[in-house]
Amino acid sequence: MSEGCGIVDPDAPEPSEKKRWYMNEKPQREGMYEPTPHEHCANILTHGIAILPSLIIMQVLMSASHRELQYYIMIIYGIATILLFAMSTAYHLAEYLYRPHQSTGFSRKLRYYLHLMDRSTIYFFIAASATPWLALRHCALLGKNLKWIVWVSAILGISYQFKFHERYKTLETVLYFIVSAIPYLGMITMSDRTGLPLMLLGGAVYAIGVVFFKLDGVVPFAHAIWHVHVLLGASIHTYAIYATLLGPDKYNPFPEVDFD
């Protein structure tokens, strides 16, 4: 996941900036931040280390599912989580390998489209993270409708990325906040609110991380710190799903299902 180190136009020339090992200068308003090589490595590692565990945890969630709806929702959630960390890692690896040296037309376009996919995957992950709560818990009318609205919002957000990628950075951040907040409106209508405090805690971790998301060039390794917050927030939400949403549902009992 990336904010400042993006590409607005893949055909534009590279900017020239004064470089330091721990942090470069803050970009101009709506400009691109140039991470140092050390920051690039930190950006790669802080999400790269989550790919393999995400694959394992997806299998754990699927195995813990008690009925088909839980099982298929865990597949969606698992895929979204894997893609979130994989696309982020792929993009930052491309940034490290090709920016600013060896900046050919191909490498710039590669970085541009990886960044575009990285940003779009965030919307997919937000919707996939909300779906277990809105679909597996009994909610009032608002919650029942929001499980579809959150996916429509994610699709609109992805469409926005393809049309206006990196043009209005502050607006992009606001859109992420809005789409992320939508599910919480439905969660407060759940008949069983077990696990909701963990969801709120994870949301708070994400929100704190956004502060660092906007501090490239101000705080050294700010983007890697944001990545750590994403990793922690996703871990808290995943544990909440595993501990409180999977298994027999006392409000909607089903016989145990064997998926082996």
Q: In the predicted model, what is the mean pLDDT of the chain? A: 84
Residue 115 annotated in ligand binding? no
HEC string of the chain equals CCCCCCCCCCCCCCCCCCCCCCCCCCCCCCCCCCCCHHHHHHHHHHHHCCHHHHHHHHHHHHHHCCCHHHHHHHHHHHHHHHHHHHHHHHHHHHHHHHCCCCCCHHHHHHHHHHHHHHHHHHHHHHHHHHHHHHHHCCCCHHHHHHHHHHHHHHHHHHHHHHHHCCCCHHHHHHHHHHHHHHHHHHHCCCCCCCCHHHHHHHHHHHHHHHHHHCCCCCCCCHHHHHHHHHHHHHHHHHHHHHHHCCCCCCCCCCCCCCCC
pLDDT, tens digit (0-9, with 9 covering 90-100), for 164-212: 877 877 788 888 888 888 888 887 778 788 888 999 999 999 999 999 9
Domains of the chain, each with CATH number or no CATH:
37-244 (1.20.1070)
Instruction: Between 222 and 105, name the one with better pLDDT.
Output: 222
pLDDT, tens digit (0-9, with 9 covering 90-100), for 37-87: 899 999 999 999 999 999 999 999 999 998 899 999 999 999 999 999 999
Residue 223 annotated in ligand binding? yes
pLDDT, tens digit (0-9, with 9 covering 90-100), for 201-254: 999 999 999 999 888 878 899 999 999 999 999 999 999 999 999 977 655 554
pLDDT above 70: residue 10: no
pLDDT above 60: residue 260: no
Residue 165 annotated in ligand binding? no
